[in-house]
């Protein structure tokens, strides 16, 4: 649960644009249609600052590029390890 105001994509063209742009950088198996993101989410917790939302999540999308030398399994292993080390359970 977030403790800050969340702006839904249908309430702000800037949030919608940021979500669409950053989402296009993700591998297909990670991509979730913007229309499906409702309520609370880690992405929408950044919605008060759409440009920050874009840059924060575009970084992840770029790092997950299939053109990089790491395999999908290696990406998942790194993500899981970092989450455990950061005590992040979502």
What does the pLDDT read at residue 51? Answer: 96
3 state DSSP class of 34 = helix
Q: Mind listing the pLDDT tens digit for each residue in 17-74?
A: 999 999 888 877 776 666 666 666 788 889 999 999 999 999 988 888 888 898 888 9
pTM, full prediction: 0.71
Per-domain residue ranges for the chain? 9-85
Choose among 43, 4, 6, 41: nearest CA to 21.
43
**pLDDT the model gives residue 12:** 95
Whole-number pLDDT of residue 87? 92
Please state, in angstroms and rounded to a whole number, the distance separating the CA atoms of residues 55 and 8.
Answer: 18
The answer to whether the beta carbons of residues 22 and 53 sit under 8 Å apart is: yes
- pLDDT-based confidence at residue 11 (cuts at 50, 70, 90): very high
What DSSP state is assigned to residue 43?
T
């Amino acid at each position: 649960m977030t403790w800050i105001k969340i702006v839904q994509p249908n309430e702000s063209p800037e949030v919608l644009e940021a979500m669409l742009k950053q989402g296009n950088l993700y591998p297909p198996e990670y991509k979730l249609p913007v229309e499906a993101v409702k309520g609370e989410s880690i992405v929408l917790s950044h919605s008060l600052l759409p440009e920050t939302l874009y840059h924060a999540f575009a970084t992840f999308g770029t790092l997950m590029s299939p053109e990089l030398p790491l395999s999908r399994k290696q990406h998942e292993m790194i993500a899981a390890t970092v989450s455990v080390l950061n005590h992040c359970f979502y």
